[in-house]
Amino acid sequence: MPQEIIHYKVLERYLNKVKLNGIRIGSLIAQYYALNYISKEHSKSIFTNLLVFLKYCFTLLNNKETKPHKVDFIFTKLNNRFHFNALMDPLINHYNNKSVILCDENSFGKNEYDIQKNTITFTQTNSNSNKDARKILITIFTTTYLLFKNKKRLHLKFHEIIYFVNNLLIQLRRTSFWDHYFNAIQSNPLAVVTEFDRCAESTPLIIAAKKHKIQTVTLIHGVLEDYSFTPFLSDNIFCWGADQRKQLIAMRIDPHRISITGNPMFNYEFLDNSCIDYNLKSLRICLAISPGFENHLIIEPFVSSLNSNENVTGIIKLHPSLLKEDFQWVKVISSKIEIMSSKDIKNSDLFKKIDLLIINDSGIANESLVVGVPVAVFVPECIPQLNPFQSKLVTIAKCRLLNKEDDLNMLLNEVLINPLEFRKNSTENCSSYLKDLYESAGNESVLSMISEIDRISGKLIPVK
């Protein structure tokens, strides 16, 4: 785990000593702990951060009260990425007439959801109750004092404190919104369901719902990583299969909170090797990169290897949180490589175009193995050991481990000799790994999730 994340985890626990309306505030900015050290957003000037802080303070006085209506369920739509849509859309469609959706008004048109009737937008949740404006300011100044007083022990710099206080102010407003929403509603919803309970937009909802004794559920949208998923805030966790259940228990999650519901993000039946556009004369290799890692350590040997192999071309597939403009330097040193984001191509279409996937720590590896596209794990020699995900891919799924450019060159030569045989052997080797990974998929998984939500909420609703 990166040292910055360890410090932020400590900070989260420390700030949970402070409360607003009985709600501990530390976990409210949890996502920033996990992700913003990557984007370095807090590197804005101190003056800019102070101006933003003053702006947020003044807007505390401009509030609109929301009049909630009775609903059975609240779902979140945190973004418009394929993986998140595949998780939430089937549930939203099933409980359509009995639910409210928390979403970004800029991501979804009125043809998809009725913005006026059954959605609450992120903008709306930024409008706290006037009753809480004074309490929020007191909480902010108390927190700021504590952070400055202990900034050496918490390993925080001045500009980082201002940045996190700005974000905390936003999160306190959102929490205030949901606290008063649940106070004003006729009767509490049966359950709140989110695709990621550590996201900035969902965390205030989950924490406020728990205060009001409402059942909360989080789904799993990707590879379980301790730095971004823990501590889980929801009462109930829906995971993909036996392997993730073991991981959650190893993270000290109470087994009674865990339900295996499979992975609804794909259907086994449409992932057919026969539909792959295969060219025996050349190979197309994909390198999938993730945030939180010094990606140049694997991009540079990847580019060098492709430049020295005339029969190989490449794709660099970016994690949805990464920006294409930050990787244009790759195209300067190689004309054989295409940079693609999740907006450019779906994973299911990507797999039809490639012969080998190389990852460091990307969950796309699991999907690739289901399709039958071989996977290799690149961990540079300077990294002392494999993380749990990498280790399982290498030891259980029998994926090839690469440490340097020479390893990659040897693998490419092996694949070029007989690509079809290499693909076949890779598929056979990973069958036991996939069995533990996914209990079910597609529609079967959706029905399992619906059944568990009905059980948790104590209300059985017929399947359409």
Closest CA to 334 of 290, 375, 285, 292: 285
pLDDT at 185: 85
Domain with CATH 3.40.50.2000 in the chain: 3-266+443-457, 270-437
Q: Choose the weakest-confidence range: 22-31, 93-102, 107-116.
A: 107-116
More confident residue, 309 or 108: 309
pLDDT at 456: 92
pLDDT at 230: 72
- CA 52/CA 55 separation, integer angstroms: 5
Residues 6 or more apart whose CB falls under 8 angstroms from that of 357 comprise 285, 286, 288, 351, 364, 365, 368, 373, 374, 375, 376
242-253, pLDDT tens digit by residue?
A: 999 999 998 889
pLDDT at 215: 95
Residue 320 — very low, low, confident or very high, per pLDDT cuts 50/70/90?
A: confident
pLDDT at 270: 37
**Phi-psi label, residue 340: left if phi above 0, alpha if psi -120 to 50, beta otherwise:** beta
pLDDT at 340: 92
The answer on pLDDT for 323 being more than 60 is yes
**Cβ-contact 5, 176 below 8 angstroms:** no
pLDDT at 405: 93
pLDDT at 461: 45
The answer on pLDDT for 345 being more than 90 is no
**What is 270-437's CATH superfamily?**
Glycogen Phosphorylase B; (3.40.50.2000)
Q: Choose the weakest-confidence range: 123-127, 197-201, 313-317.
A: 123-127
More confident residue, 448 or 69: 448
Residue 167 — very low, low, confident or very high, per pLDDT cuts 50/70/90?
A: confident
389-400, pLDDT tens digit by residue?
A: 899 999 999 999
The answer on pLDDT for 169 being more than 90 is no
Tell me the two tokens of residue 131.
């009753």
State the pairing for strand pair 73-77/99-103. parallel
Helix or strand holding residue 365 (H, E): helix 364-371
Average pLDDT over residues 88-106: 84
- CA 93/CA 73 separation, integer angstroms: 12
The answer on pLDDT for 327 being more than 60 is yes
- CA 396/CA 243 separation, integer angstroms: 11
Residue 114 — very low, low, confident or very high, per pLDDT cuts 50/70/90?
A: very low
pLDDT at 281: 59
Burial of 277 (0-12, 13-18, 19+ CB in 10 A): exposed
Residue 310 — very low, low, confident or very high, per pLDDT cuts 50/70/90?
A: confident
**Cβ-contact 248, 271 below 8 angstroms:** no
Helix (H, G, I), strand (E, B) or coil at 316: strand
Q: Which CATH number fits domain 3-266+443-457: 3.40.50.2000, 3.40.50.970, 3.40.50.300, 3.40.50.2020?
A: 3.40.50.2000
Q: Choose the weakest-confidence range: 91-100, 433-442, 453-462.
A: 453-462
Q: Choose the weakest-confidence range: 56-60, 90-94, 319-323, 329-333.
A: 56-60
pLDDT at 274: 47
The rounded radius of gyration (Å) of the Cα atoms in the chain is 23
Highest mean pLDDT out of 9-23, 128-142, 260-274, 327-341: 327-341
Backbone angles phi and psi of 440, in degrees to 5? -155, 175
pLDDT at 5: 54
The answer on pLDDT for 354 being more than 70 is yes
Q: Choose the weakest-confidence range: 123-132, 139-148, 192-201, 423-432.
A: 123-132
**Cβ-contact 66, 120 below 8 angstroms:** yes
pLDDT at 275: 45
Residue 303 — very low, low, confident or very high, per pLDDT cuts 50/70/90?
A: very high
The answer on pLDDT for 64 being more than 80 is no
Residues 6 or more apart whose CB falls under 8 angstroms from that of 1 comprise 226, 227
Residue 206 — very low, low, confident or very high, per pLDDT cuts 50/70/90?
A: very high
More confident residue, 267 or 170: 170
pTM for this predicted structure: 0.81
Q: How far is CA 303 from CA 336, 381, 393, 410, in A?
A: 8, 17, 23, 15
Strand partners, 313: 284
More confident residue, 377 or 292: 377
State the pairing for strand pair 23-24/19-20. antiparallel
Strand order across the 191-194 sheet: 119-121, 99-103, 73-77, 191-194, 215-219, 236-239, 258-260
Average pLDDT over residues 277-290: 76
